[in-house]
Amino acid sequence: METDPAQWVPHDPAERPDSPLLRGIMRVLSKVSSFKELARAYYFEVVLSLYRCSDCNGRLEMVGVSKCSCPCGKTLDPTIRFQQSSCCNAPLVRKIFHYACSRCHQTVPSRFLFDERLFDRAYFREMVQNARARERKKREELKATLAGSRSGDLILLEEPCLDSVPGLTEALNGLIGTDTSGFQSCLSRSGFSIEDYRNHLLSVIGNGSKLFSDISPLIEDCRRDKIWRFVTLIFMRQDREVSLTQYGSDILVERYVE
């Protein structure tokens, strides 16, 4: 018998949300995360102190993955603008997952990435659009095939009798009486609010896209939060609020576009 993930309770007391050990680990992880953010800010402040805006000579500030801006409004990719390859002393070009020398095409690590992953959103947006176009084409071809194989109109000469099929009436009665609210009520009893998670996910994604691993948690229990985020995204995908695309071991979450 399958078990609802949101109802799962670890056998090991150390893994339970109310465990002192787990609470201590969460505090340590929070401090490590805060220190990491400070280290990232300090690193970029030092690296960018060597460069100035070419338009107004203003100070540059990191605002995204290998993307910086100036108070005058100018934005640029500092890796392409300021860094050259050590192999050919040539400008760098941006690939899908990395930067490369524009002459020999050898991969070159960027000085303007702390621990982020280079992610070409335009490339993956195009790939997703192409995949959706193929799906629409397949659906249209399937509809055309089904329309061509459709049988003619059924003309009934007498009123259908359900009792003519043994067991049909009982099966229909059982289907109508099936309780479909069990799963939702089970989730509600566990403290899970799908509406809270839906609002959180929509605010994080906005009108763009976000990797599942980059979506901030809503509760301290990371394991349970990941399960509830995933369950909510499945319901949101069914309601055509978001689109989910497999990206390696991660999932790209985007606002649904017709």
What is the rounded distance in angstroms from the CA atom of residue 99 to the CA atom of residue 92?
6
0.75 exceeded by the pTM? no
What is the rounded distance in angstroms from the CA atom of residue 98 to the CA atom of residue 75?
20
For 119-141+191-258, give the CATH class.
Answer: mainly alpha
What is the rounded distance in angstroms from the CA atom of residue 231 to the CA atom of residue 237?
10
Written as six digits, the tokens of 169 are 């009436």
Closest by Cα among 123, 182, 146 to 2: 182
Rounded to 5 degrees, φ, ψ at 7 are -95, -5
Per-residue pLDDT of the chain (258 residues; tens, 9 = 90+): 444 444 444 455 445 556 788 888 888 888 888 888 888 888 888 888 888 888 888 888 888 777 888 888 888 888 888 888 888 988 888 877 778 898 898 888 888 887 776 655 666 677 778 888 888 888 888 887 777 776 666 666 666 666 767 777 777 767 666 544 454 555 555 667 888 888 989 888 888 888 888 888 888 888 888 888 888 888 888 888 888 888 778 888 888 876
243 - beta bridge partners?
Answer: 254
| Greatest Cα pair distance in the chain | 89
Q: What is the DSSP string of 138-166?
A: HHHHHHHHHHHT-------SS---GGGST
What is the rounded distance in angstroms from the CA atom of residue 113 to the CA atom of residue 47?
10
The pLDDT assigned to 84 comes to 86
